[in-house]
Amino acid sequence: MTQPSAARKPADSSSNALYGGKGTRRITVRDITVAKERGEKWPMLTAYDAMTASVFDEAGIPVMLVGDSAGNCHLGYETTVPVTLDEMTMLSAAVVRGTSRALIVGDLPFGSYQEGPVQALRSATRLVKEAGVGAVKLEGGERSHGQIRLLVESGIPVMAHIGLTPQSVNAMGYRVQGRGEEAAQQLLRDAKAVQDAGAFAVVLELVPAELAAEVTRVLHIPTVGIGAGPETDAQVLVWTDMLGLTGGKMPRFVKQYADLRRVMGDAAKAFADDVVGGTFPQEEHSVH
Ligand code: KIV
């Protein structure tokens, strides 16, 4: 596990406008576009509730994704597939309320945009109007071109997501994507298709590092990697994985920066021991 940040050399963020920047207004997709022009890398974390999001906001995380990974990391489902638009709207609204600086991206869940552009617009409009997100994310490359185009034409910024797309787990499983010449060419076509449709950024999940580097070179919109090597413009991790809360075996691409599962479990046991042993509450915790 990585040492706490106090023990590490801090990154030089003085010239990075997104992370460590001075502005107090909310970050916009325009800032993200400028970061690519300047060659600045940036971090993105998922968030599913107001309190956690406020911690990340204070830490300077410039972009937060209310991912449908909430399904398995927050709501107790096995995959992202059962997550509903009502759930995503509620979680996204909480994250927006808990933050003042980060750009909040709300994920469109499975079944809320696959029917076509009009369904996608109806669903995205809910996330923008009811939850207040600054952008939405949806999965798919060439197959989602029409949806992305209509949302962007309607004034809703879109982050695309290609490579491994977890909403298609029943069809593709959790396997590295883009391996082999044909699959690599398809990934490149998908990347160009979402850029052509107007997406402001694209997530590349679980693709070979060399291919992710090539996509990053070819596109003028930023790439956000997860399991896609070091050369993407941004990196995203699921917060419960990154802080060691998820439990179980982690994918190879996860770097664990803390062990919250142990910290929380130890604290819960200490509280229970105090209650059972009669050492909590004490005089300072009591009123008379
Ligand atoms: O839902 C999610 O958290 C995601 C990220 C892994 C990119 O899609």
pLDDT at 13: 61
| Percentage of residues of the chain with pLDDT beyond 70 | 94
Per the domain annotation, does 59 fall within a domain?
yes
pTM of the predicted structure, to 2 decimals: 0.94
pLDDT at 7: 47
Cα(30)–Cα(38) distance, integer angstroms: 12
Per the domain annotation, does 7 fall within a domain?
no
- C-beta atoms surrounding 105 within 10 Å: 29
Per the domain annotation, does 3 fall within a domain?
no
Phi, psi of 93 (to 5 degrees): -60, -40
The answer on 104 and 56 residing in a single domain is yes
For ligand 1, what atom is nearest to the CA of residue 46? Answer: 3
pLDDT at 131: 98
User: Residues 37, 205, 283, 284: which is the catalytic one?
Assistant: 205
* Tally of CA atoms within 13 A in the half-sphere of 200 that contains its CB: 22
Write the DSSP string, 142-184.
GGGHHHHHHHHHTT--EEEEEES-GGGHHHH-S---S-SHHHH
The answer on 90 and 63 residing in a single domain is yes
How far are the Cα atoms of 69, 71, 99, 206, 254 from residue 166, in angstroms, in the given order? 9, 11, 27, 11, 16
The answer on 156 and 72 residing in a single domain is yes
Per the domain annotation, does 213 fall within a domain?
yes
CATH of residue 68's domain is: 3.20.20.60
Per the domain annotation, does 4 fall within a domain?
no
Residue pLDDT, tens place only, 218-248: 999 999 999 999 999 999 999 999 999 999 9
Name the nearest CA neighbour of 208 among 232, 181, 177, 238.
Answer: 177
For ligand 1, what atom is nearest to the CA of residue 107? Answer: 1
Give the number of domains in the chain: 2
69, 79, 92, 162: residue to mutate for ligand 1 pocket, most atoms within 8 A of CB: 69
- Any atom of ligand 1 within 6 Å of the Cβ of 202: no
Per the domain annotation, does 5 fall within a domain?
no
The answer on 281 and 174 residing in a single domain is no
The answer on 146 and 124 residing in a single domain is yes
The residues, any chain, with a CB within 8 Å of residue 257's CB and separated by 6 or more, are 1, 2, 4, 242, 243, 244
C-alpha 226 – ligand 1 centre gap (Å):
8
Read off the tokens for 88.
Answer: 């995503």
C-alpha 253 – ligand 1 centre gap (Å):
13
Residue pLDDT, tens place only, 36-90: 999 999 999 999 999 999 999 999 999 999 999 999 999 999 999 999 999 999 9
Mean pLDDT, rounded, of the chain:
94
The verdict on whether residue 68 carries a ligand-binding annotation is: yes
- Any atom of ligand 1 within 6 Å of the Cβ of 226: yes
Specify the amino acid at residue 11: A
Residue pLDDT, tens place only, 117-174: 999 999 999 999 999 999 999 999 999 999 999 999 999 999 999 999 999 999 988 8
Q: Is 130 a catalytic residue?
A: no
The answer on 266 and 166 residing in a single domain is no
The residues, any chain, with a CB within 8 Å of residue 115's CB and separated by 6 or more, are none
Per the domain annotation, does 2 fall within a domain?
no
The answer on 147 and 265 residing in a single domain is no
**pLDDT surpasses 70 at 91:** yes
The answer on 285 and 144 residing in a single domain is no
- Any atom of ligand 1 within 6 Å of the Cβ of 46: yes
44, 45, 46: residue to mutate for ligand 1 pocket, most atoms within 8 A of CB: 46
The answer on 109 and 57 residing in a single domain is yes
* Tally of CA atoms within 13 A in the half-sphere of 80 that contains its CB: 24
The answer on 202 and 281 residing in a single domain is no
H-helix or E-strand spanning residue 137: strand 135-139
Range of the domain at 179: 13-257
The answer on 282 and 168 residing in a single domain is no
Per the domain annotation, does 239 fall within a domain?
yes
pLDDT at 6: 44
C-alpha 153 – ligand 1 centre gap (Å):
24
Q: Among all chains, which residue has been given the structure tokens 């923008």? A: 128
The answer on 263 and 249 residing in a single domain is no
**pLDDT surpasses 90 at 9:** no
Cα(98)–Cα(102) distance, integer angstroms: 10
C-alpha 70 – ligand 1 centre gap (Å):
9
Q: Among all chains, which residue has been given the structure tokens 């959790």? A: 174
